[in-house]
Structure 1
Amino acid sequence: MHGPVDSLLTSGQLAARPCFQLGTISIDPGTRTVSGPGGSVQLEPRVMQVLVSLADAEGAVVTRDLLFARCWGNVYVGDDSLNRAVAGVRRALASVEASFSVDTVPRTGYRLTGDGLGQAAAGEVEPGTGRASWSRRALLAGGLSLGAAAGVAWWAGNRPTPDPADALLARAQQSLRTGTAEGQRKAIALLDEAVKRSPGNANAWGQLALAVARVDEHVFARPVTSAAKVDDAAQRALSLDPGNADAAAARIIALPYYGSWLPVERQFEQFLARHTDHPYARDSYSFMLGAVGRMKESARMRLSLASDDLYDAQLQYRSIYCHWFLGQITEADQAAQRAFDMWPRFAPVWFARLWLLNGTGRTDRALEQIENERGHPDLPPPMLAALRSAHRAALSGDPAVVAATTKQVLGGVRASVSAVVNAFMLLQMMKSLDAAFGLAEAYYLERGPVIAALNWRPGQPFVPDQRRRKTNMLFTPLGVPMQQDSRFLPLMRDIGLQDYWDQRGVSPDFLAQPVR
């Protein structure tokens, strides 16, 4: 045994654990890495805690209560947290092609079952070698091997066949974490194949529903699927497992909430009361909080998510905005640099840093970022030209230059929703408030002379989080001049946000009184 199975397993204890061999795989708790014939994967901290706890039990059953005590310190987080962590262990084992799996013991807990588990106690791997250093317990166990041979042979002939969907689910999760359009398409294709191979797998159907809902939420071209596909996959999952959290979350995430903020928020709250730690429901809910002007609350929730998975591109780029909205500029700069180092040409990271620089009085540095042709993602020439012109106009302060650039920026808003989103930010940056309010009238209320795109079209660039007439860009620090304008509150009343604030009994950040 590598550690006591009845004590709290902290992050520090994980870091101090040496590498060890378990069947055909090696586990490094310090780096949270699992390696096997199928490759290597890095686990989230909680998933590694659960895996190590199961390994420490050496094939014995570990109760759910004991896992909660050891991995969560008996802090109440709900059954879904443990279910997701165990699912993470299973995906990791399938991904690296482990010779064993996690077996559910109904109404009790979990245990590891499969080939080579006798090596769990035997082998602590010498760091950097991959070789097990056999312990005294392993040598003693050798004396029992002949007597146990018949039992092992019986078990090997009766163990359950691995679900053919498991490896596909693991690969889909890896693809989704990239945050790219290609990764999202690949993930959905893998999940479509998973439900085809294993139509009775509730997890596969639930993950398909969730993946489609999230891709459609952060769509990069046109909605890639209809809401019907989300609902169909979710219904299949829930018919197999009425408690499937991914399926229930997908149905809420797929709801457009412009003009229906309060009913959708109540659905999020009811879901999260049951599934406290569901990361993607929390992420979508936090973005909705930003859409109703509760930016600081949104940022705090999203930062807690980003700290859970440092390798998820979608969670990490959002942390740049979160620190910015909370006034933590040094931390925002550090988050931007880390994200650039990991995903150097990922458009959401590039834009997050651009708006951060603009919103903190560093428009000159933002222009440098635009001028660095090798350092920016593949953007359409008209968008790049508008970005460049607007930054130059803002730096010049020349009213004639600003007026000409404002006309240029507005000239692109008919082409795509992403151009509308960028236009809001650029007009606010240049303090072209008349144009910004004119665009708001067009985009949110379909009034006035400006024609703004309301639907995604093929070929437009990927700007996450901005479909369905999002309002978040009105509440960033760049939007302060609009928020302080006498026209802003009437606009909020006309689009329905004033009613939401009154009915919900909350105030948006821009109306909150400063703390004295």
Structure 2
Amino acid sequence: MLKVRDLASRSDFTEGTLRVSPSRRIIAGPAGQTSLEPRIMQVLLLLLDASETVVTRNQLFDECWGGAIVGDDSINRAIGRLRRVLTQVAPGAVDIETIPRTGYRLILRAAETPFCAAEPVTADEKIARSSWSRRRLLGGGLALAAAGGAAIWQAGESKEDLAAQLITESDAIARAGKQESTTQALALLRRAVAVSPNNAQAWGALALAVARSEHPSLAQTTSPTLDVERAAQRALRLDPANADAKAALAIAIPYYGDWLSAERRFDAVLAQHPRHLATIDAKAFLMAATGRPRESSEVRLRYLSGEPFDVRLHYRQIYAHWMLDRIAEADQISGRAMEMFPRHPGVWFGRLWLLASTGRIERALALVDDAYGRPPLPASTVASLRAGLIAALSRDRSEIDAAVRQVMAGVQRSVNGVVNAIMLFNIMGATDAAFDLADAYYLERGPILAAMQWRPGQPRVPDVRGRKTNMLFTPNAATMQRDPRFLPLMRKIGLVSYWRQRGITPDFLRR
């Protein structure tokens, strides 16, 4: 039997009411035809080849992803897209049955309308019309959806089908990383659970989306952790094996100062769902935040390449290559990411710190001065970045002192101001200022008051799990790490105890 990945070698065939052309990646049915992405076509072929027997998730990973390390959500997206297309081209004739904790089975039914070569309306056109109509309804009725409004779906489309489409659309919006994406993605998921309240996948996706969001709502009146717990527990009552719900419960709890408990939570999820991408990513960030940036980067590079269109994961590659001293690769990734996701804060800051920390301060300064290309940063942030880079370039003591005062003035307004300040102080060589700020931020000591929470207007980089420590372990923090004040700081924030309990040596001590 030909491998499903060999699309060009597969002949066209008819199965029930479907006409499939693997080489051209076209599927047709009584209601029209459409083209499929290569991987979606591979998933369809594997399900068809199974002749209505169950295809496990591991088989899907091995056959369609070539065994690459990708998350369970990759399969969820593929199945969701395939269900949507099959509903459009052959409504009522084909189902994809989910077998909990196992996999999927494709079911073919005899249809009243036989296959017809005529193509009155393509499925792509129908999908586009459906999406446009749904966007219009959502745009005008998010308040209704948030309150659990009435179910609205097209004739012939089940609640489960609509929920699956809403989950897919939410994921696509979140992956694009636009400024308003968090609010839009969460609104779609809330709509999905309102439409299909017994849908475990929808509740799990909602729990995970809230858990991964740094600040789900400016008008939030309840704790995000409680929101995560409610949605996750609902998902687990419906499906005790729901991976997203388990991951959400593990990720939602801030882990600053409680590193070991967090790692054990992530490991417990990965023991049952070793390919769950959000959990792998969360654990990789924990590694970086606990002094293991090289191990974190190696883990990330094993799975990030499989998700090139997810900005939440894509820009991590910039840091991963930088931590491994692969500057040429980091430059290529950052340049590509800037083109794919223009003005995204995570991508832009990744490019900025890469340039500034590898001796290319003039280029970093040009990036800051490019008002068209940078994200919508507050004017005070732009001014602080510019002052710090100019001081780093000149190495003039008076300019460094002036820049320190300007940067310090901004740390009370924004938690990202703290992260930026420590990065800038290390680039400028203002080590004393870096330790003064660290005492204020981590230990709440000294005359400086550092922001601990997100502030309105602050551009979000969705990595935070409590107070950040990852910037203390970047290559440009080497001077801090060699300073006799560094290990006492690590002891006070609990990292020395964590290293002892785990029996590990952080990267900076290895050097």
TM-score by length of 1: 0.80
What is the CA distance between 1:462 and its match in structure 2? 1.8
Indicate which of 76, 79, 95 corresponds to 1:101: 95
What CA distance in whole angstroms lies between the structure 2 residues aligned with 1:428 and 1:19?
Answer: 61
Rate the CA distance shift 1:15–1:255 in 2: closer, same or farther, 3 A.
farther
Provide the residue aligned with 1:434 in structure 2.
Answer: 432
Do the aligned partners of residues 25 and 9 (structure 1) sit closer, same or farther apart at CA in structure 2, a change above 3 Å counting? closer
SS of residue paired to 2:233: helix
Note the C-alpha offset of 1:167: 1.4
What is the rounded CA distance, in whole Å, between the counterparts of 2:382 and 2:424 in structure 1? 12
Of 107, 110, 113 in structure 1, the residue corresponding to residue 105 of structure 2 is: 110
Deviations 1:334-381 (A, max 9, x none): 101111111111111111000001121111111111122221111111
Q: Which residue of 1 aligns with 2:76?
A: 87
Partner of 1:319: 317
Q: Check whether the contact 1:8–1:73 (CA below 8 A) recurs between aligned residues.
A: yes
Classify 1:359/1:18 alpha carbon distance in 2 versus 1 (closer, same or farther; 3 Å).
Answer: farther
- Residue 400 to residue 22, structure 1, CA distance change in 2 (3 Å): farther
- Write the letter of the residue equivalent to 2:417: A
Say which of 470, 487, 490 aligns to 2:468: 470
- 1:211 corresponds in structure 2 to 209
Structure 2 equivalent of residue 280 of structure 1: 278
- The answer (yes or no) to whether the contact 1:41–1:92 under 8 Å persists in 2 is no
1:244-267 superposed Cα distances (whole Å, 9 cap, x missing partner): 110000000001111100011011
Helix, strand or coil at the partner of 1:374 = coil
- Whether the 8 Å CA contact 1:213–1:254 is kept in 2: the answer is yes
What displacement does 1:87 show?
Answer: 2.9
SS across alignment from 1:164: helix
Is 2:10–2:23's contact at 8 Å kept on the other side of the alignment? yes
2: CA distance between counterparts of 1:175 and 1:426? 32
Q: Distance in 2 between matches of 1:318 and 1:33?
A: 35
**In the alignment, is the contact (CA less than 8 A) between 1:9 and 1:71 conserved in 2?**
no
Q: Which residue in the other structure is 2:132 paired with?
A: none
What is the Cα deviation at residue 457 of structure 1? 2.1
Offset of residue 35 of structure 1: 10
Q: Do the aligned residues in 2 keep the contact of 1:421 with 1:473 (CA within 8 Å)?
A: yes
Residue aligned with 2:410, SS: coil
Contact 1:41 1:95 in 2 (8 A): no
1:72 aligns with 2:73: no
Contact kept, 8 Å, 1:222 with 1:458, in 2: the verdict is no
Residues 37-59 of structure 1 deviation map (CA, whole Å, 9 limit, x = unaligned): 999898695x65323312445xx
Local SS of the residue matching 2:97: strand
Tell me the SS of whatever aligns to 1:233: helix
- In structure 1, what is the Cα distance between the partners aligned to 2:504 and 2:436? 27
- Give CA-to-partner distance per residue, 1:132-184, whole Å, 9 cap, x none: xxxxxxxxxxxxxxxxxxxxxxxxxx998854311111111111111234112
Equivalent in the alignment of 1:49: 42
SS of alignment partner, residue 235 of structure 1: helix
Taking the TM superposition and a 5 Å limit, the aligned residue runs for 1:292-311 are 292-311=290-309
Aligned equivalents of 2:431 and 2:84: distance in 1?
52
Q: Does 1:339 align with 2:330?
A: no
Q: 1:219 and 1:489 mapped to 2: Cα distance?
A: 35
Q: 1:279 to 1:460 in 2, by over 3 A?
A: same
1:461-500 deviation line (CA, Å, top 9, x unaligned): 2233135111001011111111111111111011110000
Give me the whole-angstrom Cα distance separating, in 1, the residues matched to 2:198 and 2:246. 17
Equivalent pairs, count: 467
* 1:233 paired to 2:226: no
User: Please, which moves more after superposition, 389-398 or 164-173?
Assistant: 164-173
* Letter of the 1:423 counterpart: A
The TM-score, its normalising length taken from structure 2, stands at 0.81
Amino acid corresponding to residue 97 of structure 2 in structure 1? D
SS of equivalent residue, structure 1 residue 101 = strand
* Secondary structure of residue in 1 paired with 2:108: strand
1:490 paired residue number: 488
- Of the three residues 400, 403, 407, the one matched with 1:402 is 400
The letter for the 1-side match of 2:414 is S
Change (3 A) 1:228 1:255: same
Name the SS of the counterpart of 1:103 in structure 2: strand
User: Per-residue deviation at 1:301?
Assistant: 1.5
Give the counterpart letter for 1:93 in structure 2: L
> Cα deviation per residue 1:51-90 (whole Å; 9 max; x = unaligned)?
3312445xx214336x74575169998xx98975653333
Cα shift readout 1:173-219 (whole Å, capped 9, x = no counterpart): 11111123411211111111111111111111101100110113x76
Contact 1:177 1:313 in 2 (8 A): yes
Give the match for residue 415 of structure 1: 413
Q: Would you say 1:184 and 2:175 are equivalent positions?
A: no
Using the TM superposition, name which of 454-463 and 159-168 deviates more: 159-168
Flag the 1:256–1:172 CA change in 2: closer, same or farther, 3 A. same
Is residue 2:377 matched to residue 1:388?
A: no
> Residue 19 of structure 1: CA displacement?
8.9
Distance 1:234 1:471 in 2: 28
Alignment partners' CA distance in 1, 2:357 and 2:114: 56
Cα distance in 2 for partners of 1:281, 1:348 equals: 19
CA distance in 1, matches of 2:408, 2:288: 25
Partner residue, 1:259: 257
Partners of 1:511 and 1:223 lie apart in 2 by: 42
d(CA) in 1 for partners of 2:275, 2:262: 19
Aligned AA (1:203): Q
Greater displacement, 180-189 / 271-280: 180-189
Contact 1:22 1:119 in 2 (8 A): no
- Residues 379-426 of structure 1: CA deviation (Å, up to 9, x unaligned): 111100111111111111111111111111111101110111111111
Contact 1:394–1:430, Cα closer than 8 Å, also in 2 = yes
**Does the CA contact (< 8 Å) of 1:259 and 1:495 recur in 2?**
yes
Tell me if structure 2 keeps the 8 A contact 1:220–1:462: no
Counterpart amino acid of residue 80 in structure 2: R
Give 5+ residue unaligned stretches, structure 2.
125-155
Within-5 A mapping of 1:106-185: 110-113=105-108, 162-185=160-183
Question: 2:78 is matched by which residue type in structure 1?
Answer: V
Tell me if the contact between 2:256 and 2:465 (Cα under 8 Å) persists in the aligned partners.
Answer: no
